[in-house]
Structure formats: C-alpha cells, structure tokens
A = this chain, B = another copy of it.
Amino acid sequence: MPTAYVTAPTDEADTIAERLVEERLAACVNRFPITSTYRWEGEVHHDEEVVLLVKTSDDAYDALVDRLEELHPYDVPCIERFDEGHVLESFAAWRDESVAAESE
C-alpha cells in the first residue's frame, strides 16, 4: 500500500486534504507544519509549508497523483510515493474500503 508524501502551501493544505478524502482518492490524510529549506534561482530560501501524508490504495495511486497535480498551486509539486512493508490487516481493509480507484 502507498502513502503519498506531498508538500503544499499552508493555506491550501486543508482544502487539498478534504477534496482527496471527499473524492475517495484517499482514505485519510495526516498533515503537519514544516520549515522547508531549498535553493531557488541561486538563493537559499526557508518557507513554512505543510506536509500531507496521503493514505491510499495501489489501484488509486495514479488517479490520486493526477488529481493532486490539478489541485496543487505549484508547477513542480513534491509528490513522492512511499510503500509500507506491512499494514495492520484491519486498517488495510478500512483503507481499501474507503478508497474507490478512478478506474473502478
């Protein structure tokens, strides 16, 4: 099962999380504030952002990424996939039931 790791502007993270759950592309989204340090046009920047950990299913992952690209304000958003080695069975079942892959 995959978790998508996404960073987003603080004032847009709630909306993105809610849409993904409403549209059944995510079973749940865990989010928290971070400080990001990065280089842009030769300068080092420090911005306040939010990480969204988006819990979805294998079948729904591609549709989730497509939708994230539509919802996200950045041209080059951080969208990374981390796969769990194991998920407690009852929670894995809940995740699968909560997510309806686009292809279904």
Which A residues are within 8 Å of any B CB, using their own CB?
1-3, 5, 7, 14, 17-18, 21-22, 24, 27-39, 44, 46, 49, 51, 53, 55, 65, 69, 75-88, 90-91, 94, 98
User: Are the C-beta atoms of A86 and B75 separated by less than 8 Å?
Assistant: no
| Known contacts A21-B39, A38-B98, A49-B30; A77 and B88 CB within 8 A of each other | yes
Task: Choose one: B46, B51, B65, B85; the contact of A88 (CB below 8 Å).
Answer: B65
Q: Per DSSP, are chain A's interface residues mostly helix, strand or loop, or mixed?
A: strand
Q: A21-B37, A38-B98 are in contact. List 16 more A-B contacts (CB 8 A).
A: A21-B39, A21-B44, A27-B39, A28-B37, A28-B39, A28-B78, A29-B37, A30-B36, A30-B49, A31-B37, A32-B51, A34-B53, A76-B91, A78-B91, A80-B87, A80-B91
Task: Choose one: B24, B32, B38; the contact of A28 (CB below 8 Å).
Answer: B38
Q: Kindly report which residue of chain B lies nearest to residue A3, judged by CB atoms.
A: B80
